[in-house]
Amino acid sequence: MSDSSFVRTQMLPPEVPPLTERGLVRWMRENLFSSVLNTVLTLAGLAFVIYAVAATLPWFLNGVWNAKDIKECREIVLANAGPEATGACWALIRERWHQFLFGFYPADLYWRPVLALGLLLVSLAPLLYYSMRRANLILVGTVSVLTLIALALLAPGAALLVLFAGLFAALTAVAWYAPQKLVWLTLAFPLLAFALLWGGSVWGPIGVAAGFGILALVYSLTKSFLGVVVATGAGVVAAAVWWLMVQTSVTTALHGAIPLGIQAVNSDQFGGFLLAFVIGVTAIGASLPIGILLALGRRSDMMLIKTLCVGFIEFVRGVPLITVLFVATLLLGYFLPPQSNFDLILRVIILVTFFSAAYLAEVIRGGLAALPKGQYEAADALGLDYWQAQRLIIMPQALKVSIPGIVSSFIGLFKDTTLVAFVGLMDPLKGVTTIVRADVAWKGIYWEPYIFVGAIFFAVCFGMSRYSMYLERKLKTDHR
């Protein structure tokens, strides 16, 4: 018999790998201690982490929440932790949180921005989760409960509270039975929020809505003989004329005839995160469609449209945002008709929107360029017209590819809202913090307000980032 012949008589049972090759031990061997250099780096990193925690943790742990000024804070830390210890003075946040959130918005009207925030989150639900019942219900339900608790604490009055409870109960029911129907709230939200935040005569928001009505009317009347693009342009011009020249006098007259409305709040009372959200959310919502149109325009065959879009994008991208903001405050005033009462926040929103739209246009153009030519050809060959092809075939794919870039732009835009401090608006980071730190009672406080503001910005931006990752996973259908 030759040595090479072999017959197995018994099959081997599976065994667990040796201790050093499984679980945590294996992970550490592979990732932390795989070589001498890595071991040294791991130990050095560990030492740094221990040092950093040792330096900052006592500061957090010794934090004082109840004090009337920074002096008292320091005394409490001294009494509790000894002369060498440091401690955070969160009492500042406790006393001034409302300014960080609302600026100088009248305290008895805090329920209005809170309600607006609740409605914002509810009206985002159908956009974020489309018609997914469970997700819509969880979001709307949670938001409803939190908003109602906040509203109850702000005590706007029993009658209003019952009304809001009914409203949010109804919205939660809609979220469960017909989530898509929430889109109607989404469509109405901009005007609703405008009416809630600024208050004043109800005719103001209705006048603004009428502008959109005029746009739609002019578009539908002229579309048949002017074509989609020119008709849209004509509609925009007509609406702009209405908003800038006519609206104020008409709404004033209407208010004189039928005075309906709630207490008005002036733009200079807005501040803190209220301001950041008003500017950020509006600009994010408005810049996406404009960015899409600019991206399409830049790829258009029509010479004039292409030139205009390229010119706009390149000009805006070449100019710092702060320049644009100064234009909003100073230059725009000279060009507008004197009777137009053009709010500073509104001006800033419009320019920030266009600024962000130019960046988005380039991100989306990248997505468009990533699509194979065959997709356009297949859409053409099936007889879809340009806008149908864009809406049904091209954009769903191009936007999906561009999600990371789009969300990056949104996050950048939201953080850039702090730059409005330079034109005298009270952003949460510089505007409010400077005011708070200028108070004699809190003079010398440094880290606490920035940590507080930074934490809120982080929470919002991290949320956007996580949602975009979820969306990418959900939309992944190519199974590559």
Kindly state whether residue 369 participates in binding another protein, applying the rule CB under 8 A.
no
| Inter-residue contact 98 to 104 (CB < 8 Å) | no
Cα separations in angstroms, 58 against 54, 61, 232, 273: 7, 5, 61, 29
Residue 398 or 411: the one with the smaller Cβ distance to another protein is 398
Q: 420, 348 in Cβ contact below 8 A?
A: yes
Per CB under 8 A, 348 contacts another protein? no
User: Applying CB under 8 A, which of residues 392, 451, 455, 469 lies at the interface with another protein?
Assistant: 392
Applying CB under 8 A, the span of 176-184, 310-318, 373-381, 431-439 interacting with another protein comes to 373-381
Q: Does 381 bind another protein (CB under 8 A)?
A: yes
Q: Which region among 11-19, 362-370, 386-394, 424-432 touches another protein (by CB under 8 A)?
A: 386-394
Please identify, using beta-carbon distances, which residue of 29 and 391 lies nearer to another protein.
Answer: 391
Measured distance CA(196)–CA(211) in Å, rounded: 19
Within positions 429 to 448, which residues make up the interface with another protein, using CB under 8 A? none
Count of residues that interact with another protein, criterion CB under 8 A = 22
Stretch in the footprint of another protein (CB under 8 A) among 73-81, 195-203, 215-223, 470-478: 470-478
In terms of Cα–Cα distance, which of 113, 130, 114, 124 is closest to 187? 124
With CB under 8 A as the contact rule, the residue among 55, 382, 451, 469 that binds another protein is: 382
CA angle in degrees (0–180, nearest 5) for 104-140-176:
155
Q: Which of residues 394-413 bind another protein (CB under 8 A)?
A: 396-397, 400
Nearest residue (CB) to another protein, 83 versus 372: 372
Shortest distance in whole angstroms from residue 372 CB to another protein: 8
Q: Which is nearer to another protein, 2 or 477 (CB)?
A: 477
* Minimum distance from residue 19 beta carbon to another protein (Å): 42
* DSSP secondary structure of 55-90: HHHHHHHT-B-S-SSHHHHHHHHHHHH-TT----BT
Measured from the CB atom, the residue of 82 and 372 that comes closer to another protein is 372
Crossing angle between the packed helical segments 91-102 and 272-298, to the nearest 10 degrees: 40
The single-letter DSSP state of residue 155 is -
Name the DSSP letter for residue 271.
B
Q: State the nearest-atom distance from the C-beta of 381 to another protein, in Å.
A: 4
478 binds another protein (CB under 8 A): yes
Instruction: Please report where in the chains the tokens 């005033």 appear, as a residue.
Output: 333
Q: Is 224 in the site for another protein (CB under 8 A)?
A: no
Find where tokens 């292409």 sit.
Answer: 306
From the list 118-126, 149-157, 331-339, 383-391, the region that binds another protein by CB under 8 A is: 383-391
- 431 exposed, middle or buried (CB, 10 Å; 0-12, 13-18, 19+)? buried
- Which of 123, 46, 125, 60 has its CA nearest to residue 89? 60
Q: Is 261 helix (H, G, I), strand (E, B) or coil?
A: strand
| Choices 168-176, 270-278, 391-399, 425-433; region in contact with another protein by CB under 8 A | 391-399
Q: Is position 215 an interface residue for another protein (rule: CB under 8 A)?
A: no
Using CB under 8 A, list all residues that contact another protein: 372, 374-375, 377-378, 380-385, 388, 392-393, 396-397, 400, 475, 477-480
